[in-house]
Chain A
Amino acid sequence: MSLARADAAPAAIWNFRLLSHHELNGFGGMGEGLSIQIAKDGRRILWAAHESAPKNFTGIDVTDPRNPRIVVQTDLPASHMRSNSLEVTGDIMAVAYQCKTYGQQPAGFELFDVSKPEAPRSIAFFDASGPYSRGVHALWFCDGEYVHLAAGAADFQSRHPNDDQFYRIIDVRNLSKPTEVGRWWLPGQREGDAAPPLTRHVYRDNGFRAHNTNVYPQRPDRCYLGYIDAGMLILDISDKSQPKVISRWDNSPPYAGMTHTVLPLFERKLLVVADESNVDNAADWPKLIWIVDARDEANPVPIATCPMPPVADFKNRGGRFGAHNLHENVPLPTSWFSDQIIIGTFFNGGLRAFDISDPYSPREVAHFVPEAPRGSPAASIQLNDVFVDERGIVYVVDRFAGGLYILEMDF
């Protein structure tokens, strides 16, 4: 087997400084769950979800970001599972489980006590399996009380198999007994809905389903929801049992769907909305980061996109090229906050930071495109997810093989 290395896709770094790189014991294919815990003994532990089996999650001591050390790496109970997403609040970690096909188990999410990082202890499992469910793809857990899910359910049959995951709110105030308190889906998504069936996207049917389900303490009565081929939504969740739509903005068609993340910048009255590229060789180009005017939350208006490097330079490097995850200003003391800088992953386009102080004219201020990781089937870097801690240290992971890259910002 030959590997395309730096010659094919040259490493580029601008205004980031690479502090360290860890291949995570050869299991460097990472998902979109990164979260920081400060352990009781003062150690800083980065928890990272793996993109696919056999590994579940890895805990890495990043107290010294120049010398990351694995403290624990766990296995999934079944090869048809993937964890993909996790979130840590205090010493409690929630980990999403999604299966390859409908009806498989275990599918749902698991709560762990990670007060001893070397020995995570399972507290509870919330079952989201069902004959038409693959389980949980992504979760949000920042207040210690509710887990917000993109999930299927035993009692939920979508009209189209691609539409199996919807928004669910799970009360975990009693950690040993997670209980659903609310749910929302797109009218027309579920079998039996009064609304007519949803019009499928012609270019590529990614499904009408939930992805990121962000809720912030500034507005605990709002969910900022990425809904794949249905665009983005703002939901009123002041009554969690009955979420209501405040607004929806959908860029597709003519764009290629896959609305992934909605990041509200409350004080600036802006939203940052990210698509996900999910087709190789930029066939779904352009997958963008959008700046949206949210001064009237009932009428979100797109006003700019973050500039992308030339597609011609990246589309043939291997794998995907386009936007994916953002640093989401996670409302935890271990998370960096910025309403001026947006940092996102772009698969083979690397990690990119944008200054949006002028929201009409975002400017790239930094990037990091590492060489193709050893053994990556994409033969290029595929940066998948990013998290920035409150020190300003940037953690970014590769989807297939590269593991963890730790950087400093210098802009």
Chain B
Amino acid sequence: MAAVKPIDFLQAPSGASAAADAEAGLAFRALHYMVLMREVEDRIERKLYRQGKIVGGVYVGRGQEAIAVGVGLATEPEDVLFPCHRDLALYFIRGVHPRQVFAQYMGRVGGLTRGKDGNMHMGDLRLKIVAIISAMAASVPVAAGAALGIKYKGLPHAAFVFFGDGATSRGDWHEGINLAAVQKLPLVLICNNNQWAYSTPLEKQMACKNVADRGPGYGIPAEIVDGNDVFAVYQAAQRAAAHARSGLGPYLIECKTFRMTGHAAHDQALYVPKHLFEEWAKKDPIDRLERHMLRKGWASQEEIDRLHREILQLVDESVAWAEQSPYPDPSELYDNVYETPSGQGSEV
């Protein structure tokens, strides 16, 4: 599984000569991870999936990269992360290599689950990153439990749990937040409100205007940020983390964004009015960050182009590695149901 130590490609690119300026350095790191997430997911969704090389579903976070990256860069390595299925960059920030992600999607042993599960269902406790299950919001009480563990042990960390607008309708979401609020647990809740849950629009999901409106109902602070502005997300995450770490309890951040794809690769999202895609395309978080960096003089177009080229090269190499990774042997079917094999039902 993944190495705990961050690997080479995580270093800020050479173009960060302006890194004396911390903001510029942060911008470079953010851009790196956002582009990496975008390119890895594009390769999976638009190429490998169509080539039949992905064995199952594909769920991407195109247009939402600023959320995973903005929050991820505000966390510390000992914080426990509970990504949802549109937060791929969190894995890269924690040191997972893109080749492991490709192998994961292809059902190979080089993936984080060795083919036991697919797509974004992956985690590694050594990296403090917990795998989701398909029933969204189930992670919220579990993250509350991790936060409870942090508090129990008197550690200065926090748990960060990610979910979409749709998940906020589920009972687990309510139970988890309520428990965390009552116990004042160090839990940061990050909603990527992309306005669609599969084909269900927000107004059919909830009768209140914002997910953040629900915060006061639990007695916790909640704020709304522009989810396509990585700096805004980063700063909100810092506020939330400071709140959680100081023993004041959970903090909810609603990141307003838009799902620039269907629910999954098979879904053309014909139910989404076309003009919405066009409007939100203008707010693309990567374009915005690049324009900002150019305007501020933090990077030249040449440096940005080089970052893209290097990432594409990394993606090519990673796909090649994943395609060489073997499929699991069928005998692995029986491994790790329990710590020691129970011998149940394995031969009839």
Same assembly:
no
